[in-house]
């Protein structure tokens, strides 16, 4: 499988005037012009402009990607902290509900105490 560049440049001549364009490959079949300049006197001038602009364009993209990655990491860390706080709050709520449920069970008086004198020997009483 061939590896292709995402960014490249193209130089065209039309009527003795040269123009250059910075291209971005969107898909395998579609490209978009990111930046263009015209009215160069020679092909060498157009190529020089295109190479310099491509380098500058790529460095700007790299800086932008780093800024966005840093922001993404900060957002993910904040989201993780919020999720942890929410989980702790939910756990505390569950513990409080369990404690309240146990307290209400103790207060109901549903204790099964066998203080009525029954010893459990049904066979010997008849």
Segment 59-103, tens digit of pLDDT: 999 999 999 999 999 999 999 999 999 999 999 999 999 988 888
Strand partners, 60: none
User: Cα-flanking dihedrals φ and ψ of residue 14, to 5°?
Assistant: -145, 110
Given this model, what pLDDT does residue 4 score? 56
Q: Judge whether residue 53 has pLDDT over 70.
A: yes
Task: Quote the percentage of the chain above a pLDDT of 70.
Answer: 80
How long is the chain? 126
- Residue of 103, 59, 43 lying closest to 20 (CA atoms): 43
């Amino acid at each position: 499988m061939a590896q292709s560049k995402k960014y490249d440049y193209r130089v065209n001549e039309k009527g003795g005037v040269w123009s250059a364009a910075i291209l971005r490959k969107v898909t395998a079949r579609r490209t978009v012009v990111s930046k263009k300049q015209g009215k160069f006197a020679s092909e060498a001038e157009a190529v020089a402009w295109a190479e310099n602009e491509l380098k500058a364009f790529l460095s700007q993209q790299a800086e932008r990607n780093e800024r966005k990655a840093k922001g993404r990491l900060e957002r993910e860390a904040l989201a993780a902290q919020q999720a942890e706080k929410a989980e702790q709050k939910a756990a505390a709520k569950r513990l409080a509900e369990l404690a309240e449920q146990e307290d209400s069970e103790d207060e109901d008086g549903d204790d099964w105490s066998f203080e009525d004198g029954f010893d459990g020997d049904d066979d010997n009483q008849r």
